[in-house]
Chains A and B, each alone.
Chain A
Amino acid sequence: GENVEQHPSTLSVQEGDSAVIKCTYSDSASNYFPWYKQELGKGPQLIIDIRSNVGEKKDQRIAVTLNKTAKHFSLHITETQPEDSAVYFCAAEDINSGGSNYKLTFGKGTLLTVNP
C-alpha cells in the first residue's frame, strides 16, 4: 500500500510570510494528491489538489507542486494570514494491485500557526 510522509509536524510563521509543507509518497502508480485543511473542532476540508499530468497548480495564495520522478509534492501558502492557522494534511491516492479500489492515504498532518 501507499505510504505518505509529511514534514514538518509543526510550523510557525509571521503574518505575511510564506509557509511550505512537504510530503513524499511511495507508490509510483498514485496519480492524485489532495491537500486538506482542518480547523479546530471541524472535519478536514479540501483546499487544493493536483493530478499527475501537471506539475503545479495555483489557487490565489495557495499552490501545490508535484515532482513525480522524486515522488514528492508540496503545499505553498503565500502572504499568510492568522486565519490560515490550522492543521494541514496531504494525501495520496492508494491504488491496490487490481486498481479497482480507491482509498486515500493521509500524512500525519502539519500544525501551522500564523502569528499576527
Chain B
Amino acid sequence: NAGVTQTPKFQVLKTGQSMTLQCAQDMNHEYMSWYRQDPGMGLRLIHYSVGAGITDQGEVPNGYNVSRSTTEDFPLRLLSAAPSQTSVYFCASSYSFSGTDTQYFGPGTRLTVL
C-alpha cells in the first residue's frame, strides 16, 4: 500500500490564483481530513469527510473548499489564494470516524502564496 499520498510537494502561487491540492489513500478508509501546519500553531483542522459525499468544516475552513466523490480521493481547493494561506498542508485518513482509529498522515504540501 502507498498509504496517503499528496501532490504536489511544493507549490508557489500568486495572490488571487486558484489551485487544488490532491490527496489520495489506498487503504479503503472512510474518514479523511485536511490540516494546515503553521509555526507555533500546531495542526489545525480545515475540513473533514466521514465518507463519500459527506464533508464538514473544521476549525479554519474559510478560503478552502472540499469534495469527496470517491472513497479514495479528497482534494482541497483554494479558490483565490491569499498570503495568509502560506502553510504546510497535511491530508490524513483513518478507517472510520470512530475516535479510536489511528489517523495516517500524508507527507505534506508546502504552499507559498506571494
Q: Which residues of A contact B (CB under 8 A)?
A: 1, 6, 9, 31-32, 34, 36, 41-46, 49, 51, 89, 93, 95, 101-109
Determine if B15 is an interface residue (Cβ-Cβ < 8 Å).
no
A42-B108, A43-B105, A43-B107 are known contacts. Are A89 and B99 too (CB-CB below 8 A)? no
A108 touches B90 (CB 8 A): no
Q: How far is the CA of A79 from the CA of B50 in the complex (A)?
A: 40
B90 touches A102 (CB 8 A): no
Chain B residue numbers with a CB within 8 Å of A109 are 42
Chain B residue numbers with a CB within 8 Å of A45 are 105
B97 touches A43 (CB 8 A): no
B102 touches A49 (CB 8 A): yes
- The closest CB in chain A to the CB of B4 belongs to A43
Q: Which residues of B contact A (CB under 8 A)?
A: 4, 31, 33, 35, 40-45, 48, 50, 56, 58-59, 90, 92, 97-100, 102-108
A106 touches B99 (CB 8 A): no
Total number of residue pairs linking A and B with CB closer than 8 Å: 58
Nearest-CB distance from A23 to chain B (Å)?
11
Please tell me which one of the listed residues A43, A51, A105 contacts residue B108 in the complex, with CB atoms under 8 A apart. A43
Please tell me which one of the listed residues B31, B40, B44, B108 contacts residue A102 in the complex, with CB atoms under 8 A apart. B31
B45 touches A104 (CB 8 A): yes
Q: How far is the CA of A2 from the CA of B4 in the complex (A)?
A: 26
Q: How far is the CA of A106 from the CA of B92 in the complex (A)?
A: 13
The 3 A-B pairs of least Cβ separation, nearest first, read: A43-B105, A108-B42, A106-B43
Q: How far is the CA of A106 from the CA of B46 in the complex (A)?
A: 13
B43 touches A93 (CB 8 A): no
Between A and B, 23 residue pairs with Cβ closer than 8 Å are A1-B59, A6-B42, A34-B102, A34-B103, A43-B4, A43-B90, A43-B105, A44-B43, A44-B105, A46-B104, A49-B102, A93-B99, A95-B99, A101-B50, A102-B98, A102-B99, A103-B33, A106-B42, A106-B43, A106-B44, A108-B40, A108-B42, A109-B42
Q: How far is the CA of A93 from the CA of B44 in the complex (A)?
A: 13
Chain B residue numbers with a CB within 8 Å of A101 are 50, 56, 97
Please tell me which one of the listed residues B44, B58, B90, B98 contacts residue A44 in the complex, with CB atoms under 8 A apart. B90
